[in-house]
Structure 1
Amino acid sequence: MKSTGVIVEYNPFHNGHLYHMEEARKQTNADVIIAVMSGTFLQRGEPALVSKWQRTKMALAGGADLVIELPYAYSTQKAETFAFGAISILHSLFTKNVCFGSESGQIEDFTKLLGFINTNHTNYNFYIQKFVKEGNSYPKACALAYKALQPSATLIDLSKPNNILGFHYIQAIHRLGSDITPVTILRKQAQYHDQSIEKHSIASATSIRNELLKQNFTLSSISHVVPETTYHLLQDYYKKYDIFHNWEQYFPLLKYRLLTLPNEQLEAIYEGEEGLHHRLKKHCQAAQNFSEFMTLVKTKRYTWNRIQRYCLHILTNTTKKEIEEATKGELPYIRILGMSGQGRQYLKRTKKRISVPMITRPTEIDHPLLTIDKRATACYALAYPPEKQADALLEDYATPPIQTKEESHPF
């Protein structure tokens, strides 16, 4: 069975994701689509709009055959680490291809850039550090470093988020010595950072979230940009919990952590550096909400996403030492969130070759990677109404993989 991987957040699953899924299957002639999906918190350092279980249902309805959780220690990281964690999972599952959307749309752009950087590694890193010290963000510094070494070259735009991720997917494949073949699809219509929904059928996840997080939102306003299943799953979630998750619900908890933790503990939190916690402590006292707080804290050097990730690690009490322990060595497990009948068949055929333990609940293995996940999931549940929190805290332990057909478990 030929398998193709997609690396996703589905926050939420929309028509652009559906197009990507269909094109990935068609262009690679895949029998099985394996979606490596972030869990409760995401790469930009923010909570997922709805739970990973609801997003797993969206993914399966949209055509995924296996949904695998990308652990917190990878899902909330800069592009390089995020990509390496996801590609490691796909490599361990003997995935034939990985298909990603990009603003470039040409796989040769990525392989050419990787070849150049591998050849000019030392000088490239020198210029990156130089431009970072001058106050540029890391993605901007990477683009400037390439331009400094190749002034006349046409550069793939590494300021675009999907181009950045695509490059790091290919870099991770090279680093792992994997046989995975990368394929890219040009993003259609909406771009990643688009803030508003237009009349056409594809909108960015950012614009959809912005619409749903308005004070007097109506779900009907997004009905033309998401599949019907997504629409009903979002509707069901809001009826049950009366929320879509966002940072504003967690800001009081973050504020408490910032104002009560000693400086040495804040410095030990992952991504805490150069006294950044002093700036956060100062501005959280004046800010009335998370958006205002982030506007006050953001600088030219520290991007919104970079600061937001640090805030998230403070919220979840994730330290530098923990991340180092959790991500060193080989992949310790693969956690299955959902599968179709085709996905079950794929696991039956490949499970004897897969050396990494496959788990379905967090009690099945003891590892620092999973310890962080448990704590992050518990933190995520604190946004629910008080009467719903007890059930939500147990959900991760009690929920088996979501299956689209009634068949026996493959292992």
Structure 2
Amino acid sequence: MRVLGLIVEYNPFHNGHLYHLEQARSMCNADFVVCVMSGNFIQRGEPAIINKWARAKMALQCGIDLVIELPVPYAMSSAEFFAYGAVKILNDIGVVDYLCFGSENADIDTFSTIADILINEPESYKQALKQELAKGISFPASRELALKSYLSEKGSQISDIEAVISSSNNILGIEYIKALKRLKSKITPLSIKRINNSYNSSEITGSISSATAIRKLIQTGRLADASLLAHATETDKNQLDIVLPANSLNILEEEFNSGRGPIYSNLYEQLVISSIRRMPKEELKLLPYVKEGMENRIKDAAEACGTLETLIESILTKRYTRTRIQRIITSVMTGFTSNDLDTFNKFGGPQYARVLGLNNKGRQLLSMINKSTHLPIITKTANFSKSCNPLLRRMLEIESFATDMYVLGYQNPLYRKAGQEFTQNVVVMK
């Protein structure tokens, strides 16, 4: 029996995801596939285009057997903590044999070499990193330059170092391997080279296009109304038919027609700006990734700006990336602090494996997991709301509050009720 693990967002599930799933399953001859998926907020500090239960349904209909949620403090973290949280869950459920991820280079040996440097932090690398940070540039850019300097100094034979350490999915791949090494995990890492356009590409380029491009098509085309097909141009519909599996398109249509999507950050701009205006600077200082007096810049921007985009633009600097700012701003909605993340990391990371959806094979896999893990497996969140583990309770509390805020973006007010974390059932497919 071979179990394949994937770390995903499926925002939404598209043909590139289907290609990766099929290739990964074939590569390791997997009998079962489990994915750890971000919930209602994703790694770039944005809301998912549709809710996590609908995206879990997409995953199951397209070939995943078991969907486990990545808790929001990790789902909306830097690449390092995003990877650590997801890998920790896959490792701790005790049945996963392989972790397969997409990357621009698909070179496991190179990723492993770089991961070792980041774990061991040789003195010359640390000095190079310190020098780059002193120039006032962002940590990701500084780390990229420091790695390039160190590898060049050591006469590394890695070809095209800059391309390896500057590509989004390569960086995540390195972090996945770093997490596996730190956990001394027995999971074998595998990688599949991405095809067609890049992760950040905003243009539809064929049957396999990025999720970024697909979300842009929906938002800027005529698909952002309540009815997907009634308001779409033939061109837009044809493009979606090309880039999405039929099951994904049907679920998108269902969510949009019900008034539960599409969801974008600008739907929350008044909520976010008003919240920041009310928060004292001392409270802003406690948000994740706020350092070096950044709370002053955030406060001033919120008082001067009337839109989310101008708020972000006003905070941006060479040191603070857009993604970092989006995570900070969205954490105002999700209700977790820097201290929460530090505490979770100190005491073992994710405190549970929460099941979002499963099929019949997923039931078999879940039975095996229950026999092999020490991690609490959650299928009914209400059963754990009064857990004797305070960290588990706090993590669920954050998740619940994040969903309560997320649903305020629904066009249909009937679906905006709070407490859906405790009323929504696991998605079950045959």
**TM-score normalised by structure 1 residue count:** 0.93
SS at match of 2:64: coil
- Residue by residue over 1:214-253, the C-alpha shift from the partner in whole angstroms, topping out at 9 and shown as x without a partner, is 1633351322001001111111111101631111011101
SS at match of 1:178: coil
Runs of 4+, deviation exceeding 6 Å: none
Aligned residue type for 2:379: T
Check whether the contact 1:362–1:374 (CA below 8 A) recurs between aligned residues. Answer: no
Residue 57 of structure 1 pairs with residue 57 of structure 2: yes
Among 323, 336, 344, the residue aligned to 2:363: 344
Alignment of 1:230-245 (within 5 A): 230-241=248-259, 243-245=261-263
Alignment of 1:146-161 (within 5 A): 146-151=147-152, 152-153=155-156, 154=158, 155=161, 157-161=164-168
Aligned residue type for 1:177: K
Bigger mean CA deviation after superposition, 189-198 or 345-354: 345-354
- Residue by residue over 1:307-342, the C-alpha shift from the partner in whole angstroms, topping out at 9 and shown as x without a partner, is 110111122332222222333323421101111111
- Residue by residue over 1:56-92, the C-alpha shift from the partner in whole angstroms, topping out at 9 and shown as x without a partner, is 0111111111100000111110011110110011111
Give the match for residue 372 of structure 2: 353
1:22 Cα offset (Å): 0.4
Give the match for residue 135 of structure 1: 136
Give the match for residue 180 of structure 2: 173
Give the match for residue 288 of structure 2: 270
CA 1:401–1:386: 2 relative to 1, 3 Å: closer
CA 1:327–1:113: 2 relative to 1, 3 Å: closer
Check whether the contact 2:50–2:260 (CA below 8 A) recurs between aligned residues. Answer: no
Aligned residue type for 1:128: L
- Residue by residue over 1:2-22, the C-alpha shift from the partner in whole angstroms, topping out at 9 and shown as x without a partner, is 101110000110000000100
CA 1:106–1:122: 2 relative to 1, 3 Å: same
SS at match of 2:142: helix
Check whether the contact 2:35–2:68 (CA below 8 A) recurs between aligned residues. Answer: yes
Check whether the contact 2:119–2:178 (CA below 8 A) recurs between aligned residues. Answer: no
Give the match for residue 79 of structure 1: 79
Whole-angstrom distance in 2 between the partners of 1:296 and 1:350 = 47
Bigger mean CA deviation after superposition, 369-378 or 273-282: 273-282
Whole-angstrom distance in 1 between the partners of 2:151 and 2:373 = 42
Among 297, 300, 309, the residue aligned to 1:291: 309
Give the match for residue 408 of structure 1: none
SS at match of 1:68: strand
Bigger mean CA deviation after superposition, 319-328 or 37-46: 319-328
Aligned residue type for 1:210: K
Among 309, 314, 317, the residue aligned to 2:327: 309
Alignment of 1:187-202 (within 5 A): 187-198=194-205, 200-202=206-208
Whole-angstrom distance in 1 between the partners of 2:402 and 2:47 = 10
Whole-angstrom distance in 2 between the partners of 1:388 and 1:126 = 56
Give the match for residue 27 of structure 1: 27
* Ranges in structure 1 where 5+ consecutive residues have no aligned partner: 406-411
Give the match for residue 102 of structure 2: 101
Whole-angstrom distance in 1 between the partners of 2:242 and 2:147 = 40
Whole-angstrom distance in 2 between the partners of 1:116 and 1:364 = 43
Alignment of 1:34-49 (within 5 A): 34-49=34-49
Whole-angstrom distance in 2 between the partners of 1:131 and 1:222 = 43
Bigger mean CA deviation after superposition, 72-81 or 207-216: 207-216
Aligned residues: 403
Aligned residue type for 1:21: L
Whole-angstrom distance in 1 between the partners of 2:126 and 2:426 = 42
- Residue by residue over 1:262-305, the C-alpha shift from the partner in whole angstroms, topping out at 9 and shown as x without a partner, is 11111122222122122222223443422232223211111000
Residue 401 of structure 1 pairs with residue 426 of structure 2: yes
Whole-angstrom distance in 1 between the partners of 2:383 and 2:172 = 31
Whole-angstrom distance in 1 between the partners of 2:240 and 2:370 = 40
Give the match for residue 114 of structure 2: 113
Question: Quick one: percent identity of the two aligned structures?
Answer: 35
CA 1:41–1:118: 2 relative to 1, 3 Å: closer
Whole-angstrom distance in 2 between the partners of 1:197 and 1:289 = 27
Residue 371 of structure 1 pairs with residue 397 of structure 2: yes
Whole-angstrom distance in 1 between the partners of 2:127 and 2:404 = 41
Check whether the contact 1:139–1:158 (CA below 8 A) recurs between aligned residues. Answer: no
- Residue by residue over 1:340-394, the C-alpha shift from the partner in whole angstroms, topping out at 9 and shown as x without a partner, is 1111112223421211110113222232211111111111111124632444x34
Query: RMSD over aligned Cα, in angstroms?
Result: 1.7
Check whether the contact 1:361–1:396 (CA below 8 A) recurs between aligned residues. Answer: no
Check whether the contact 2:116–2:178 (CA below 8 A) recurs between aligned residues. Answer: no
